[in-house]
Every structure is written in structure tokens, then in C-alpha cells.
Amino acid sequence: MKTVYLDNNATTQVAPEVVEAMLPFLREHYGNPSSMHAFGGRVEAPVEEARASVAKLIGADQPSEIIFTSCGTEADSTAIWSALNTETDKNHIITTRVEHPAVRSLALHLKRKGYRITELPVDSAGLIDPRDVERAITKKTAIISIMSANNETGVLFPIEEIGRIAAGYGVKLHTDAVQLVGKQPLDVRNLNVNFLALSGHKIHAPKGVGALYVKRGTRFRPFLIGGHQERGRRGGTEAVPNVVALGKAAELALDHVTEERTHVRALRDWLEQGLLEAIPRSQVNGDLLNRLPNTTNVSFEHVEGEAILLMMSDLGIAASSGSACTSGSLEPSHVLRAMGVPYTFAHGSIRFSLSRYNTADEVEYVLEHMPPIIARLREISPFWKD
Ligand code: PLP
């Protein structure tokens, strides 16, 4: 069966060039970069090249500002714990209501441990007001952790402006840029952030690798305490094949970032417009301008997201829904709830997220099949009236 993969914010296809780049490090060059012998030493230079390539992708001044991690979640945890462990007299964290669980669940965990958490609201377009950040800062604020782009709606946050505010008060800023990296040009030098998290599997590298940018001069404590790897900033033998893969993916992301804003955006806009035109009572969730070029979150009133996904899946179309089945009840996502999306729409929300590998034929296929899917589900919906 045909597969149309439109779930790239969940994970991405590993680029063929990335597979090629990592294979020698699985087959032949399997040494440990910390070993004294030449066999191990042979993998040291490729790891450093990968570091330089990740640094270049995000505009870091120096490769040494990049620490390799196992995933985006580890990078987020490392940043937040580092701030708490270096500023032990502070107990306050500022974040938002729409963070990914990588940050949100940690914040809830810390709240249970006695930390004070401020979760900033978003407006109906999913945007945050930087003035709210300023109002929330206190002398006890150890770190502000705000995502660069939302994974469900693609909405972009004003990190540069928040960075200026945070720096003005001398408060550390972390941004979870897992969804932004590779989709928008990025220059950390303009952002005034201390930390930035990214993840390999969102940019066509395999799962199992991520990175944390730590601005030079930022006080730091490791999250994984162990060996002296990563200049003592993360214990654990480097996952050399994955690190090399991330380096290659970063290089490709830089080459393709313009394509994201042209080819990918054009396909996304066509898909979105086509759905809105063909399906009555549908709407896009999230600000239309401040948005990633690859993401659209569309709600279809009075249908269940899960039911839509299942019918799409039968036709080979992969996407995500904005509701999660927890403890038997279908709860709309915390992001859509924070935006105040009415329940009748929030339940029927589908996130389509594209990549450079998607084609016009695929969008046409989805546009052909979505209207009958929604119509069929509405026929059996007790709430739907034409
Ligand atoms: N942050 C955001 C915004 C994400 O979308 C994700 C993954 O979906 C993560 C963090 C976690 O990344 P990883 O899966 O690499 O741990």
C-alpha cells in the first residue's frame, strides 16, 4: 500500500546520505574515541567534525559549545537541571502552558519537589506575550525555558525578544528548539540564549542522538555524571555512529533550509487551503504567519481525531491527532486547551507535518481522500447537522 508520511514533527525518515555517513562507524570504525590506541583515536576527528557541523547549523561561535546527548529530552533536562544545580539559592522556573512533555513533565515533577513553576499562558493563536515573561521574573528565578516552535501547531515564539528580557535581568534562558532546527534559519548569537536543545530524529538523523548548545561562559553542571566524555559535561561513551549521523543531517539541513521555506511551505499551504475549501466547518489552529513552514493543525468540527487518523491510516496516510486517549477518555491536547480551541473543534484536530521528501502527488492523494473521510464520520456523528 502507498504510504504518505505527513508526521514529520513526530519523527523523520533518515536521509540516505546520513545512512551512508554512519555505516563505516558501525562496520569498521567502532573504536572508543577515549581509547589511547590509534584505532579508537580514528573516530575522534569525525566526532569533532560533527560537532562543528551542528555548531554551524545553529550559528554557535564555537563547536565546543555543543554537547551531544541521547535525544532532545535529555538536552532539555540537562539545561534545566544545570541551571537549578548552579543557582541553588533559586527555586523558580518560568515556562509556558504549551511546552512539549520533555519540559512540561519535568516542570511538574519539579513542582512536586517544591520548586515554584510559572506556566505562561498563550492567546487563541497560540502566541505568548514577552511582557508576561518580564512580569513573571523574580529574584528567585533560576531559568526561563520556552520553546522556539510548538510541535503541535508550529507556532513560533519570540525567543530573541525574550532573550533580551532575560539577559536584562541576568536570568538564564533555555529554548527547546527541537522543532525549529532545520526548518528555519537560526543564529544563536542573536538569540541571547544560554541553552538550546535539538534532536537528531527530527532532522533526518536516526533516533538516539540530540545536542545541547551551552553558550560559552554559562555555568554548567552535567546531568549524566560519569566519565570525562564531552569535556566532563556528559558522562557516557559517545554514540559515534549517531553523532556522525547528526553531523551529516545538520550539514544537509543547512543546505535544505531554503527548500523548507519554499517547496515544503508551498505543499503545506496547498494542503491546508484544499482542506479548508473542501471541508465545511474546518479551521486552522495557531497563528498563520508566525508558524513553521511544514506544519498545519486543522480541526474538523464534530469528528474524533482518532477516528479520522484510523481511516487515514487505512489509506496509508500518516499524521497525528491533537487528542490523546488517556484513561479511557479522549482529552484534547494541552496545547489546544491552552489556546481555548472549543472542544467540538479540538477533538477533531489533525496535525499534518511535512518534510522535503513529500511530493505534490502525495498532497493530491490526501486532498482526494480527506473530504469523504470527514463526510462519512459526520454521517455517524450524533452532533453533526448539515
Ligand atoms: N521538544 C519538542 C518540541 C519535541 O517536539 C520533541 C519530540 O517530539 C522533544 C522535545 C523530544 O525530543 P526527543 O524525542 O528527541 O527526546
Write out pLDDT tens, residues 59-107. Answer: 999 999 999 999 999 999 999 999 999 999 999 999 999 999 999 999 9
Q: Ligand 1 atom closest to Cα of 200?
A: 15
In this predicted structure, what is the pLDDT of residue 383? 78
Residues with CB under 6 A from ligand 1: 71-73, 100, 102, 147, 151, 176, 178-179, 199, 201, 210
This prediction's pTM = 0.97
Say whether 71 is catalytic.
Answer: no
Q: Ligand 1 atom closest to Cα of 201?
A: 15
Question: By alpha-carbon position, which residue is closest to atom 13 of ligand 1?
Answer: 72
Are 121 and 259 in contact by the 8 Å Cβ rule? The answer is: no
Question: By alpha-carbon position, which residue is closest to atom 9 of ligand 1?
Answer: 72
Banded pLDDT at 385 (limits 50, 70, 90): confident
In this predicted structure, what is the pLDDT of residue 327? 44
Our mutation pick for probing the ligand 1 site, out of 70, 73, 76, counting the most ligand atoms within 8 A of Cβ, is 73
Helix 72-86 vs helix 101-112: crossing angle, to nearest 10: 40
Q: Provide CB contacts within 8 A for 293, sequence distance 6+.
A: 183, 184, 260, 261, 264, 265, 268
Report, as an integer, the average pLDDT of 257-284.
Answer: 95
Residues of the chain with CATH 3.40.640.10: 16-252
CATH topology of domain 4-11+257-379: Aspartate Aminotransferase, domain 1 (3.90.1150)
Q: Which of 26, 108, 310, 325 is catalytic?
A: 325
**CATH label, 16-252, candidates 3.40.47.10, 1.10.357.10, 3.40.640.10, 3.40.50.10540:** 3.40.640.10
> What is the 199 CA–ligand 1 centroid distance (Å)?
7
For residue 266 the three cell numbers come to 508551498
> What is the 37 CA–ligand 1 centroid distance (Å)?
37
Banded pLDDT at 381 (limits 50, 70, 90): confident
In this predicted structure, what is the pLDDT of residue 323? 58
In this predicted structure, what is the pLDDT of residue 330? 67
In this predicted structure, what is the pLDDT of residue 341? 97
For 364-376, write each residue's pLDDT tens digit: 999 999 999 999 9
Give dist(CA 370, CA 365) in Å, integer: 9
Residues of the chain with CATH 3.90.1150.10: 4-11+257-379
For 175-216, write each residue's pLDDT tens digit: 999 999 999 999 999 999 999 999 999 999 999 999 999 999
Give dist(CA 70, CA 246) in Å, integer: 11
326 CB-side CA count, 13 A = 7
For 125-176, write each residue's pLDDT tens digit: 999 999 999 999 999 999 999 999 999 999 999 999 999 999 999 999 999 9
Report, as an integer, the average pLDDT of 273-292.
Answer: 98
In this predicted structure, what is the pLDDT of residue 324? 55
> What is the 77 CA–ligand 1 centroid distance (Å)?
11
For 302-351, write each residue's pLDDT tens digit: 999 999 999 999 999 999 996 555 445 567 899 999 999 999 999 999 99
Give dist(CA 255, CA 188) in Å, integer: 18
In this predicted structure, what is the pLDDT of residue 329? 55
In this predicted structure, what is the pLDDT of residue 326? 46
